[in-house]
Chains A and B, each alone.
Chain A
Amino acid sequence: MMGPRPVLVLSQNTKRESGRKVQTGNITAAKTIADIIRTCLGPRAMMKMLLDPMGGIVMTNDGNAILREIQVQHPAAKSMIEISRTQDEEVGDGTTSVIILAGEMLSVAEHFLEQQMHPTVIIWAYRKALDDMISILKKIGTPVDVNNKEMMLKIIKSAINTKAINRWSDLACSIALDAVKTVEFEENGRKEIDIKKYAKVEKIPGGFSEDSCVLRGIMVNKDVTHPRMRRLIKNPRIVLLDCSLEYKKGESQTDIEITREEDFARILQMEEEYIQQMCEDLIRVKPDLVITEKGVSDLAQHYLMRANITAIRRVRKTDNNRIARACGARIVSRTDELREEDVGTGARLFEVKKIGDEYFAFITDCKDPKACTIILRGASKEILAEVERNLQDAMQVCRNVLMDPQLVPGGGATEMAVAHALTERSKGMTGVEQWPYRAVAQALEVIPRTLIQNCGASTIRVLTSLRAKHTQEGSQTWGVNGETGALVDMKELGIWEPLAVKLQTYKTAVETAVLLLRIDDIVSGHKKKGDNQSKQSAAPEATQE
């Protein structure tokens, strides 16, 4: 009889791993990623300095920014990095917490896998725990009055305190709040706060950090097209275009046959007349400032200058949109369709300033700007980049609160409260699921634990007393003071976080843990590098006829 012969199913250059090995591998990868940024949590966080292969420097303690720069091989590690990015895009804060939490969720599961518990059981328990966590969080959440400026500043401050800019956090907070309030836009009951589009951060190296500010308007890194155009205009009438002021070629193939010299002159004249016509259309609405996304020909510049109109060309589309929102103009695509209501009159001042070696056009002092530019000044590009990241986080926090005015206490208090509630509930459960369920509660404690670790206090002592504190009635808001490592009531310290961020953090962390636990096979179809190279170099010689 024939013996069992190995059957080759997968192609030879695919690599396959399966079973327990994959699960432990995934868990180790997730833990490794979490360990990288563990020291970046809390107000006593350490910064990381990253050198990329091109020689650029990134200095940050922002979880997402760190992970973005590192290159990983393991697929599980890749998906961990991906979640911090999702967190950043979704709520803009808690990027470090989500990674640490997800890593911890996985590492507590390792124990059950070793005891031969089936992953589906663990997953079921995790999902149940997530549902309960959400309902508990919603119960803890307290509403806030968004019009109370002091309260809002406090909330933003608690987000900023963990960052590099906490030295001038008051300024940063008011910048963030101002900017977000400016771009807040309500129309027919639909609330829109699009920070990405309408609050632009412009970094200009040099000056002092204290010079940073929010403009009541827009700044673009452009100069006027013609040196004799006005650089300072009060109460400018602004026209925005997205067409070029150049002679436009035909859309289809054209052939012109000319027999007489006069005809040729006529063609040239027509081209000139075309530009002249465009400029006359513009001049009709009496603007002081014309801004276009495309080019402006020399001739058009000449006509505009004669009419005492300042022109700026090649503005970014997004900048143009912002200017439109700030000064109330409408972007026009054809000059002959220009009407009086398209002209923006909202700005009170147009000015071109020279900062350092570059010219910057300011359109400021707008009446009711719905877009703004934030100018950051500082010692170096790297510092400015970090400040921008922090400020973006602060604005995101502010936006989250404005969109959903619910708060939960920070400093690990929420985690402890949720963990306590989960442990209580698990006591009523029967069956094997109660252990992974309780493990989720235990995993949540990683946030206060890391906070304590990062400020150098005794982990076990503080955590035990914190646990004891949470068993008492009415002390759900007690957490860890990240500066000193002491127990403190968050209500008194004023450390609050938006509910939306917490919800998103928990959801993402648990979902990721569940996703990675469900995997029991990794098949990678990567070719070996060596093979490919030899094939490549052989190719040109091989095809000789």
Chain B
Amino acid sequence: MLGEAVTLQLGHYSGCVGAHWWGLQAAALRSPAEPAELRAAALLRFGRGPGGTESPAPRLVALELKGGVGALRPDEAGTEPPVSWDGAIADYRDRDCASRDTGSRRGDAAGDAKGNPGAAGPGAAPAGSQDAPSVRLWSDYLNVPLHPKSLYVIRQYLHDGDCGCLEAFGQGESLLQDPACVEELEDRLHFYVEECDYLQGFQVLCDLHNGFSGVGAKVTELLHDEYSRKGILTWGLTPALSAVGDPQKSFCRLMNTALGIAHLSRHSSLFCPLSLSGSLGLKPEPPVTFPYINYNASLNYHSSAILAAALDTLTAPYRLCSSQASMLHFADSLTFSGRKVVAAWAALPFPALSGSSLPDVLSAHQDLPWKLLSSWKEQKVSSCFAQSVVLRGMCQEKATSSCPGQPRSPLHSCESPGQVLQHHLHSQFPGAFSTCQVLQQPCHTQPPFPQFFSPLLSRRGFLLDRAQGFSSAGVQSMPVLAALQSCPGLHSLLSGLCRELRPRRWGGSCAAGLEQDDFQEALEELRTLAQCYETGCGAAGSEEEGDSD
């Protein structure tokens, strides 16, 4: 089913993840080697660029605070330039801008290497691709042009500073009660929605840790009311949190998160918290680690890149050329019985030796090698109600058994990689409703994607037996396995949030603009939501699982 989706980025961290995500998609468009499996048109619109060439721009509405976004590169400022001046102007600013840009980046990268030679490591080589400290805002690494209607800067609040920040849920909510702001947002939404042939739905990327969770709550409510038959997939993003913070601030964050989850899941078709942080609660936990990635959790540039790669893979089912499923259908298959919150898992990169086959890799691991991206402590995969799994970048020829003789395991006897994965999932999660997709196209990790990979990876992201000698190209692409799961572990996440909030006394600044009744109601909602994931009372739980099969 062909269909387009409109993306909304609410908040700064969402902007970071979004910037990387658009970068990944642009990289996939640029590499013509593989057949295009994902429909670029699902998320991108093709406007007329300078000189009449088609240039893709995301179908995007991004809300950002004052100071949260830097200058976009001039050639990205718009896709409809004055027609008569195309040639000369395009030339000048391209050259000018490119030289300035790489110059500054190279300088910064050099400074970085000098100051901290150990950390820079062997992967530091490609100039401009390393994590230069100049990369501060997401506009610094956004490499696709934005439509002029995309960016909406909210002037009432500041991105950075001691005061005047959008800190509390209530502030965000009241922001979208301002008629001027709502009108602005609706204008932009209508512009994109009207040029769609068949609108599937909306993807909302929303910061959970600050006042944008309140903005998200109101935006999803608006979408739910205005476009009731469309899918609304909401991703609640939280940056990897610093270990110890001001208790007041971290309580504020907890409250934003809890209220955000309650409201966002109420109006969305599907809600998924995404974060590299080990916990969303008050007590900090160390961030998630990946065996082949050395990232700096305190850099948004790094952590958002990982989330973007996961997001690009997770959203594949409704962007496939061959797929029949729309966003709403996709959401429905995961969220039955009121379980609107799902957890995300990802293996980045999917740990496969170069040249090994999919059955070999899967049977080599006891559990699936993925990591949880939804911030709760318990990492053990026990069971789940429903899941959608996507594997990309494992090539077709390697899928089936490498040695033509006797199949070594049931996995080896399957014909297509899709069947292999399905079979494996069935044995790992008996009774769960699993759908899986296998894509050949890998996840492209050229700059501006950070080169934070372990030297044990080849150019195409497969494992090597020994550390790679220095290669100038870095890792160009990687295979990824990612899944959305509706699983009992979410009970601990949701009820944990309730538990931490309940004994707190009401009041203080976090409550700005929020009524106590609303807060109690949201808590109650979270508790109800948590109960949906309970399996303790044996019979009922197993019965539901039986039904879903």
Contact = CB atoms under 8 A, between A and B. Distances in A.
A503 B37 CA distance: 76
A242 B517 CA distance: 16
B296 A316 contact: no
Given A68-B507, A316-B521, A543 B289 contact: yes
Interface string B511-522: 010010110110
Interface string B150-186: 0000000000000111011000000001010000000
A249 B517 CA distance: 28
A249 B515 CA distance: 31
A520 interface: no
Interface string A47-67: 000001111100000000000
B338 interface: yes
A447 B286 CA distance: 51
A133 B337 CA distance: 59
Given A54-B163, A537-B297, A539-B287, A253 B333 contact: yes
Contacts, number: 104
B505 A536 contact: no
Given A253-B433, A535-B243, A357 B179 contact: yes
A163 B465 CA distance: 77
A252 B508 contact: no
A252 B337 CA distance: 5
Contact of A298 (B168, B228, B521, B548): B228
A115 interface: no
Contact of A540 (B163, B297, B456): B297
**Chain A: interface size category:** 35 or more
Given A253-B548, A539-B286, A56 B338 contact: no
A250 B289 contact: no
Given A52-B509, A68-B505, A532 B224 contact: no
Interface in B492-545: 505, 507-510, 512, 515, 517-518, 520-521, 544
Contact of B244 (A52, A316, A533, A540): A533
A68 B297 contact: no
Contacts of B413: none
Given A55-B163, A295-B224, A297-B228, A543 B243 contact: no
A501 B243 CA distance: 44
A255 to B, nearest CB: 8
B471 interface: no
B284 interface: yes
Interface string A287-316: 000000001011000000000000000101
A253 B336 contact: yes
A324 to B, nearest CB: 15
B259 to A, nearest CB: 14
A252 B228 contact: no
Given A252-B548, A295-B224, A533-B244, A68 B508 contact: yes
A262 interface: no
A317 B518 CA distance: 9
A316 B505 CA distance: 21
A384 to B, nearest CB: 13
B246 interface: yes
B289 A540 contact: yes
Interface string A527-545: 0010011011101110111
Nearest to B224: A295
Nearest to B288: A540
A12 interface: no
Contacts of B252: 54
Contacts of A55: 163-164, 509
A71 interface: yes
A274 B428 CA distance: 40
B197 to A, nearest CB: 19
A69 interface: yes
A249 B340 CA distance: 12
B291 A69 contact: no
B284 A540 contact: no
A295 B547 CA distance: 29
A317 B521 contact: yes
A424 to B, nearest CB: 41
Contact of A318 (B163, B510, B517): B517
B455 to A, nearest CB: 10
Contact of A56 (B177, B286, B512): B512
B454 interface: yes
Contact of A252 (B164, B292, B547): B547
B505 A85 contact: yes
Contacts of A529: 244
A186 interface: no
B365 to A, nearest CB: 13
A481 to B, nearest CB: 34
**Which of B179, B244, B291, B520 has the largest count of A CB atoms less than 10 A from its CB?**
B244
Interface string B442-475: 0000000000001010000000000000000000
Given A53-B248, A85-B505, A253-B548, A536 B242 contact: yes
B298 interface: yes
A253 B386 contact: yes
B294 A251 contact: no
B295 interface: yes
B415 to A, nearest CB: 24
Contact of B337 (A251, A316, A536, A544): A251
Nearest to B456: A545
A246 B269 CA distance: 14
Contacts of B338: 251
A160 B30 CA distance: 73
Contacts of A69: 507-508
B225 interface: yes
A540 B509 contact: no
Interface in B261-299: 284, 286-287, 289, 291-292, 294-298
Contacts of B512: 54, 56
Interface of B: 163-165, 167-168, 177, 179, 221, 224-225, 228, 242-244, 246-249, 252, 284, 286-287, 289, 291-292, 294-298, 332-333, 336-338, 386, 433, 454, 456, 505, 507-510, 512, 515, 517-518, 520-521, 544, 547-548
29 contacts: A52-B508, A52-B509, A54-B163, A54-B509, A54-B510, A54-B512, A55-B163, A55-B509, A252-B336, A252-B544, A252-B547, A253-B333, A253-B433, A253-B547, A254-B332, A316-B517, A317-B517, A318-B520, A533-B242, A533-B243, A533-B244, A539-B286, A539-B289, A539-B297, A540-B287, A540-B295, A543-B289, A543-B291, A545-B292
Closest CB pairs A-B (n = 7): A536-B243, A54-B509, A55-B163, A539-B286, A52-B509, A253-B336, A543-B289
Given A71-B247, A537-B243, 16 more contacts: A52-B509, A54-B165, A56-B509, A85-B505, A251-B338, A252-B337, A298-B228, A317-B517, A317-B521, A318-B517, A357-B179, A358-B177, A532-B284, A533-B244, A536-B243, A544-B454
